[in-house]
């Protein structure tokens, strides 16, 4: 009878036992239920029942991890493991996976191909002279396994460090009348200018937009004019000018009005020919004055 096999996703995993600290090496939660029994550790030998293979494969972090497992679970001094033997076992696993029509990740196949190549090379007579280091795939495989195992070990080491929320608890005391104050960030003129510089540069680089370098006084004056007029009633055109400012000031005001007209923010109206000009906000523009906000 084929045993019932359930592969657990992290969401429906049962609350694990307190044994995490004792067996942190392999996995932190049961990764499968075989015949109703949660499986939390990998078997100590290589005889994994075929029906459980899929779940064990899911417990591996990839082909390197599987290969490492096979090598380490030999329970033999690593010195005595012929790489050909390991290769054979690995390929057996891959074949088994194929028979069971398990979805095979490309990485596993790639590894199988690499091992097969190593195996075939070892069957060939040794070349009399030193091989080119670069060409020896065994060296590369061992380098990768070694590197991977170092970090696999490091991952275990980190997972065993005392952890906040699990091993370490912060001691706190309540402060009754604490007031929350959020300070606003400070901004310097420098930051503002750098940002502006930046955006101008981008605008010039990436678009046809050419920002006019007009005197700010015009913008300032546009602002002032907007503050003085509104949409409901007309403001005398002449009232917008302050003769005391002199020729320059008057000119700036005039340019500001033209600019506002151009941007259709204001309208200039005249009841009859030669009557005084009046200004108001364009009917479609609603001005909000700073004071009545």
Partner 1 sequence: MDDKDIKYFLEAALLAAGRPLNIDQLQGLFDGRMEPEKADIRKAIATLNDEYEERGIVISEVASGFRMQVKSAMADRLQKLWEERPPRYSRAMFETLALIAYRQPITRGEIEEIRGVSVSTNIVRQLLEREWVRVVGHRDVPGRPAMFGTTKGFLDYFSLKKLDDLPPLADLSDWESLRVQLDLPEVEEQDENDVPVLFPEGEHEPAADEELAVAKWPDTVG
Which value, to the nearest 10 degrees, does the dihedral of the CA atoms of residues 272, 278, 281, 283 take?
Answer: -10
Distance CA 84, CA 75 (A): 17
Pairing outcome for strands 37-39 and 5-7: unpaired
Distance CA 90, CA 146 (A): 17
Q: Does 14 bind partner 1 (CB under 8 A)?
A: no
> Which token pair is 273?
């020919």
Closest CB to partner 1 among 211 and 275? 211
**To the nearest whole angstrom, how small is the minimum distance from the Cβ of residue 242 to partner 1?**
14
Q: Which of 1, 2, 9, 10 binds partner 1 (CB under 8 A)?
A: 10
**To the nearest whole angstrom, how small is the minimum distance from the Cβ of residue 95 to partner 1?**
20
Q: Does 232 bind partner 1 (CB under 8 A)?
A: no
Are 269 and 253 in contact by the 8 Å Cβ rule? The answer is no
Pairing outcome for strands 278-281 and 266-269: antiparallel
Site string for partner 1, 71-110 (x = CB under 8 A): ------xxx-x-x---------------------x-x---
Q: Which of 198, 239, 242, 245 binds partner 1 (CB under 8 A)?
A: 198
Q: Does 65 bind partner 1 (CB under 8 A)?
A: yes
Q: Does 158 bind partner 1 (CB under 8 A)?
A: yes
Distance CA 203, CA 120 (A): 62
Q: Does 169 bind partner 1 (CB under 8 A)?
A: yes
Q: Does 192 bind partner 1 (CB under 8 A)?
A: yes
**To the nearest whole angstrom, how small is the minimum distance from the Cβ of residue 215 to partner 1?**
7
Tell me which stretch binds partner 1 (CB under 8 A): 45-53, 96-104, 241-249, 263-271.
263-271
Describe the crossing of helices 216-228 and 246-262 by its angle, rounded to 10 degrees.
Answer: 70
Distance CA 275, CA 235 (A): 14
At CA 156, angle to CA 155 and CA 160, rounded to 5? 115
Q: Does 19 bind partner 1 (CB under 8 A)?
A: no
Q: Does 58 bind partner 1 (CB under 8 A)?
A: no
Distance CA 291, CA 110 (A): 73
Closest CB to partner 1 among 164 and 272? 164
Closest CB to partner 1 among 4 and 199? 199
């Amino acid at each position: 009878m084929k045993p019932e096999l359930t592969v657990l996703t992290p969401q429906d995993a049962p609350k694990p036992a307190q044994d995490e600290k004792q067996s942190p090496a392999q996995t932190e939660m049961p990764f499968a239920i075989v015949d109703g029994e949660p499986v939390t550790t990998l078997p100590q030998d290589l005889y994994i029942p075929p029906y459980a293979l899929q779940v064990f494969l899911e417990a591996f972090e990839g082909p390197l991890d599987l290969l490492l497992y096979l090598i380490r679970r030999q329970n033999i001094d690593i010195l005595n493991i012929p790489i050909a033997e390991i290769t054979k076992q690995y390929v057996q696993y891959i074949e088994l996976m194929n028979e069971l029509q398990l979805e095979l990740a490309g990485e596993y196949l790639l590894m199988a191909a690499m091992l097969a190549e190593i195996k075939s090379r070892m069957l060939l007579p040794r070349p009399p002279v030193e091989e080119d280091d670069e060409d020896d795939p065994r060296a590369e495989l061992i380098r990768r396994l070694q590197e991977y195992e170092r970090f696999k070990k490091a991952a275990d080491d980190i997972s065993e460090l005392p952890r906040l929320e699990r091993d370490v608890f912060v001691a706190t005391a309540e402060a009754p009348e604490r007031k929350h104050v959020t300070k606003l960030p400070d901004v310097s003129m420098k930051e503002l200018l750098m940002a502006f510089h930046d955006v101008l540069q981008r605008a010039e680089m990436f678009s046809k937009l050419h920002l006019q370098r007009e005197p700010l006084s015009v913008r300032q004056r546009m602002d002032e004019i907007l503050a003085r007029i509104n949409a409901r009633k007309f403001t005398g055109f002449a009232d917008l000018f302050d003769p005391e400012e002199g020729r320059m000031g008057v000119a700036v005001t005039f340019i500001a009005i033209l600019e506002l007209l151009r941007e259709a923010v204001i309208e200039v109206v005249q009841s009859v020919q030669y009557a005084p000009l009046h200004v108001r906000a364009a009917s479609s523009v609603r001005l909000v004055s700073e004071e009545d906000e």
